[in-house]
């Protein structure tokens, strides 16, 4: 992948964030998602690459979403796999909540797991705990190992878990051990990435979420030198057959290197609404301000980017006819 690709990808997430931010708090999650998708697609097609969506929002018949198999870019650059979530947290945006982001990940062709849209059990930690976790082990064992690696008491370790009925047993076990819990309702890409930054206060991500989001998060964690393990959890025979056709055994541990192969991947995200890691889009009479992060595994570079965008020079950068 070209060195300048990281900055080109940030332009894509910025455009999607600016477009969807116009819908914050307006109860229109589908329009927010559509706005982000259209902006992302437009910018993608200006980038010198030959990209193919392997993690998207459905199949070709579900357009205008960025669908699996869609080709993006000018076709005169590197062959890339693309994983996208044009708006992670559509409900968050509709309700004016926190931690909505536009996110994407890219890797050389064939290096991203082509995960179907099914449930995935996930376990993520930051660089201090790389190589220590085991998704097959009890959560208590993993928390104890993280506490020791970070020099913390178990009761000071924070586990972030999606707030769903399926998390009930996990939540009870973490509480019985005495560790802290931070529940989240949506946005498990951001929740996983937060484990790699001490100032977020999150030490471990555990629980069951979406597989596509897991692949995107894994790319970011690879760039941050953290660790991520997962299992695909099919709910029926059709989903099980999809796993087997992909060459992935369901209910079997996947290491980070199984999900994002090779030595390189790029992760980019721009906040739509504020969270622990990034500030949301800010509105001014003449400008819009965005906060983004982009990271590359091969170089280990992590860039936090604050940008100001002129409305006067680009009056159509966001939807205003709502």
**pLDDT, tens digit, 9 for 90 and up, residues 202-215:** 999 999 999 999 99
pLDDT: is 316 or 253 the higher one?
A: 253
Q: Find out whether 155 is annotated in a ligand binding site.
A: no
Q: Find out whether 61 is annotated in a ligand binding site.
A: no
**Confidence at residue 56, expressed as pLDDT on a 0 to 100 scale:** 86
What CATH number does domain 119-259 carry, 3.10.20.310, 3.40.220.10, 3.40.50.2300, 3.40.190.90? 3.40.190.90
Q: Find out whether 321 is annotated in a ligand binding site.
A: no
What are the residue ranges of CATH 3.40.190.90 in the chain? Answer: 119-259
pLDDT higher than threshold 50 for residue 127? yes
Contacts (Cβ under 8 Å, ≥6 apart) of 265: 105, 106, 107, 111, 112, 219, 222, 223, 296, 297
What are the residue ranges of CATH 3.30.540.10 in the chain? Answer: 4-111+265-310
**Confidence at residue 321, expressed as pLDDT on a 0 to 100 scale:** 34
pLDDT higher than threshold 70 for residue 179? yes
DSSP 3-state assignment of 193? helix
d(CA 139, CA 125): 13
d(CA 221, CA 226): 5
Contacts (Cβ under 8 Å, ≥6 apart) of 240: 234, 250
**Confidence at residue 67, expressed as pLDDT on a 0 to 100 scale:** 85
Percentage of the chain modeled with pLDDT above 70:
95
Q: Find out whether 172 is annotated in a ligand binding site.
A: no
pLDDT higher than threshold 50 for residue 320? no
**Confidence at residue 57, expressed as pLDDT on a 0 to 100 scale:** 73
Q: Find out whether 203 is annotated in a ligand binding site.
A: no
Q: Tell me the average pLDDT across 224-228.
A: 97
**Confidence at residue 137, expressed as pLDDT on a 0 to 100 scale:** 98
What CATH number does domain 4-111+265-310 carry, 3.30.540.10, 3.30.2010.10, 3.20.20.70, 3.10.20.30? 3.30.540.10
Please report where in the chains the tokens 């280990």 appear, as a residue.
300
């Amino acid at each position: 992948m070209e060195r300048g690709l990281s900055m080109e990808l940030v332009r894509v997430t910025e455009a999607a964030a600016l477009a969807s931010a116009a819908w914050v708090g307006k109860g229109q999650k589908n329009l927010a998602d559509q706005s982000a998708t259209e902006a992302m697609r437009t910018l993608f097609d200006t980038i010198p690459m030959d990209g193919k969506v392997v993690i998207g929002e459905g199949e070709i018949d579900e357009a205008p979403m960025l669908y699996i198999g869609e080709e993006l870019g000018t076709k005169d650059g590197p062959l890339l796999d693309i994983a996208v979530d044009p708006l992670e947290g559509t409900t968050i945006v509709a309700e004016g909540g926190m931690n909505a982001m536009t996110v994407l990940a890219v890797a050389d062709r064939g290096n991203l797991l082509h995960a179907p849209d099914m449930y995935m059990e996930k376990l993520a930690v930051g660089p201090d705990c790389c190589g220590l976790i085991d998704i097959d082990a009890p959560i208590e064992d993993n928390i104890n190992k993280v506490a020791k690696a970070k020099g913390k008491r178990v009761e000071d370790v924070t586990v972030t878990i999606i707030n769903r009925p399926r998390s009930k047993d996990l939540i009870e076990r973490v509480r019985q051990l005495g560790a802290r819990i931070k529940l989240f309702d949506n946005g498990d890409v951001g929740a996983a990435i937060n484990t790699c930054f001490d100032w977020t206060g999150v030490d471990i991500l555990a629980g069951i979420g979406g597989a596509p989001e897991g692949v995107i998060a894994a790319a970011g964690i690879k760039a941050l030198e953290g660790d991520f393990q997962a299992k695909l959890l099919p709910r029926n025979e059709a989903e099980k057959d999809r796993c087997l056709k992909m060459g992935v055994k369901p209910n079997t541990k996947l290491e980070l290197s199984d999900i994002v192969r090779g030595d390189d991947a790029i992760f980019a995200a721009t906040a739509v609404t504020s969270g622990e890691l990034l500030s949301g889009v800010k509105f001014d009479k003449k400008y819009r301000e965005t906060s983004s992060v982009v990271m590359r595994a091969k170089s280990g570079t992590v860039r936090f980017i604050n940008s100001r965008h002129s409305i006067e020079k680009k009056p159509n950068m966001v939807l205003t006819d709502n």
